[in-house]
């Protein structure tokens, strides 16, 4: 609309291939779409014509009638009310291994179905534009990573009738399928482990409390400690980045120097926390045991390597993709929920 665009030599059309092969347009179309009712000899002729002309189907024309594009979007959403946080949005996305795992898992199953995956970061300034992109029909459906409770994106997509699958339980109930990990169970694994290591003076670095994941892991940790008869732990909130984990740990030991066990709501923050503890002269795990969450590549890059709660992120993303494909096949399917079990991976930080 905005950009005028001059003409290029136009690519060959179905008609030209048909003429070259001496058949009708319909037949060429059948060959391209692998319709079985085509004489093998004719098929060969047509295929040669396609080669010779260098024909490539025009997506717009095709999807105008089929109403499909054979591609889906992985949208990473940031809600509009997180200004300062949003400034570093893209840096966060391209710094947290989580998103790569999601992509890998989804790619895997989509690929085998011949569906393309495109990634769209949707920070606040792009919000409307992304919404427009999605409803215009560039893609058949969307995998939505929305981590903030107040994010309107899930609701909007649901309302617009865009087939969508979420990566976690939405902050507000929304009629969309989602995949999640059993957060309380995972956190309990971490808490039980710290206790079993003899740790009693526990603390936690929580995620942002406006994210279900941040909020859920914190309250689950409190619950777990209560079950063990332990007091409510000191809490410092981070934002799931390594730097915030570092700062949080510093704050924590300044305030509570005798801490001997630390549960951190994700591995990236845990990696930072370990570093801060060490710089403060604490040995990990000698003086304090640290347990992370995710089992991302950050857990392996930490020194010592992190004990952590493993989320099967790749499998979860694969399930998201499968749910999406199913949703595309049956549009009136009711939303489903799939919950995965976390496991504890014990390494050297505890």
Partner DNA sequence: TATAGCACCGGAACCAGTTCCGGAACTTCC
Partner DNA sequence: GGAAGTTCCGGAACTGGTTCCGGTGCTATA
Stretch that binds its own copies, among 13-21, 118-126, 184-192, 221-229 (CB under 8 A): 118-126
Which CB sits closer to DNA, 21 or 230?
A: 21
In a 10 Å sphere around its CB, with 0-12 CB exposed, 13-18 middle and 19+ buried, how is residue 335 labelled?
A: middle
Stretch that binds its own copies, among 178-186, 252-260, 280-288, 325-333 (CB under 8 A): 325-333
Give me the phi and psi of 128, to 5 degrees please.
Answer: -65, -40
No. of H helices and E strands in the chain?
Answer: 15, 12
From 19, 62, 116, 345, residue interacting with DNA (rule: CB under 7 A)? 62
From 53, 57, 116, 336, residue interacting with DNA (rule: CB under 7 A)? 57
Beta-carbon contacts of 49 under 8 Å, excluding residues fewer than 6 positions away, are 17, 18, 20, 21, 28, 55
Structure tokens at 207: 């995620």
Q: How far is the CB of 60 from its own copies (least distance, A)?
A: 4
CB contact at 8 A, 231 and 204:
no
From 60, 83, 173, 198, residue interacting with its own copies (rule: CB under 8 A)? 60
Does residue 343 touch its own copies according to CB under 8 A? no
Q: How far is the CB of 265 from DNA (least distance, A)?
A: 45
Best CA proximity match to 142, nearest among 164, 167, 157: 164
What's 348's DSSP letter? S
Best CA proximity match to 125, nearest among 81, 171, 75, 72: 81
Q: Which does 155 bind (CB under 5 to 8 A by kind): its own copies, DNA, none?
A: none
Q: How far is the CB of 23 from DNA (least distance, A)?
A: 4
Dist. CA 315–CA 329, nearest whole Å: 21
Does residue 164 touch DNA according to CB under 7 A? no
Does residue 66 touch DNA according to CB under 7 A? yes
Q: How far is the CB of 66 from DNA (least distance, A)?
A: 5
CB contact at 8 A, 171 and 177:
no
Q: Are strands 307-310 and 343-345 parallel, antiparallel or unpaired?
A: antiparallel
Does residue 316 touch its own copies according to CB under 8 A? no
Does residue 25 touch DNA according to CB under 7 A? yes
Does residue 42 touch DNA according to CB under 7 A? yes
Q: How far is the CB of 98 from DNA (least distance, A)?
A: 37
Q: How far is the CB of 194 from DNA (least distance, A)?
A: 58
Q: How far is the CB of 125 from DNA (least distance, A)?
A: 25
Judged by CB under 8 A, the chain residues 222 through 261 that form the site for its own copies are 242-243
Provide the 10 A C-beta neighbour count for residue 114.
8
Stretch that binds DNA, among 10-18, 71-79, 261-269, 324-332 (CB under 7 A): 10-18
Which CB sits closer to its own copies, 63 or 219?
A: 63
Give me the phi and psi of 341, to 5 degrees please.
Answer: -95, 130
State the DSSP string of 113-145. TT-EEEEEEE-GGGHHHHHHHHHTTSSSEEEEE
Does residue 69 touch DNA according to CB under 7 A? no
Q: How far is the CB of 86 from its own copies (least distance, A)?
A: 11
Q: Which does 83 bind (CB under 5 to 8 A by kind): its own copies, DNA, none?
A: none
Structure tokens at 299: 């857990």
């Amino acid at each position: 609309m905005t950009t005028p665009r001059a003409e290029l030599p136009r690519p060959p059309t179905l008609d030209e291939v048909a003429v070259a092969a001496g058949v009708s347009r319909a037949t060429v179309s059948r060959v391209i779409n692998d319709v079985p009712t085509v004489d093998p000899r004719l098929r060969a002729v047509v295929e040669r014509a396609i080669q010779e002309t260098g024909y490539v189907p025009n997506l717009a024309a095709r999807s105008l009638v089929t109403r499909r594009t054979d591609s889906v979007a992985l949208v990473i959403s940031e809600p509009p009310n997180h200004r300062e946080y949003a400034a570093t949005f893209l840096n966060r996305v391209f710094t947290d291994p989580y998103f790569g795992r999601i992509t890998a898992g989804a790619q895997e199953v989509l690929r085998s179905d011949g569906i393309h995956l495109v990634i769209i970061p949707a920070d606040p300034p792009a919000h409307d534009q992304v919404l427009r992109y999605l409803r215009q029909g560039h893609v058949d459906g969307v995998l939505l990573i929305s981590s903030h409770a107040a994010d309107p994106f899930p609701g909007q997509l649901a309302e617009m009738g865009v087939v969508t699958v979420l990566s976690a339980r939405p902050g507000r109930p929304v009629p969309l399928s989602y995949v999640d990990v059993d957060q309380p169970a995972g956190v309990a694994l971490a808490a039980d482990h710290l206790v079993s290591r003899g740790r009693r003076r526990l603390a936690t670095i929580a995620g942002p409390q406006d994210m279900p994941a941040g909020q859920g892991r914190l309250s689950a940790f409190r619950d777990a400690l209560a079950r063990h008869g332990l007091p409510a732990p000191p809490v410092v909130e981070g934002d799931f980045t390594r730097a915030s984990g570092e700062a949080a740990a510093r704050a924590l030991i300044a305030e509570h120097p005798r801490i001997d066990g630390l549960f951190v709501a994700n591995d990236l923050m845990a990696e930072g926390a370990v570093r801060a503890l060490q710089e403060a002269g604490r040995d990990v795990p000698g003086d304090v045991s640290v347990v992370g969450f995710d089992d991302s590549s950050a857990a392996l890059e930490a020194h010592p390597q992190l004990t952590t709660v493993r989320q099967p992120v790749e499998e979860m993303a694969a399930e998201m993709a499968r749910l999406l494909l199913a949703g595309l096949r049956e549009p009136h399917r009711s939303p489903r929920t799939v919950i995965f079990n976390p496991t504890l991976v014990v390494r050297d930080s505890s």
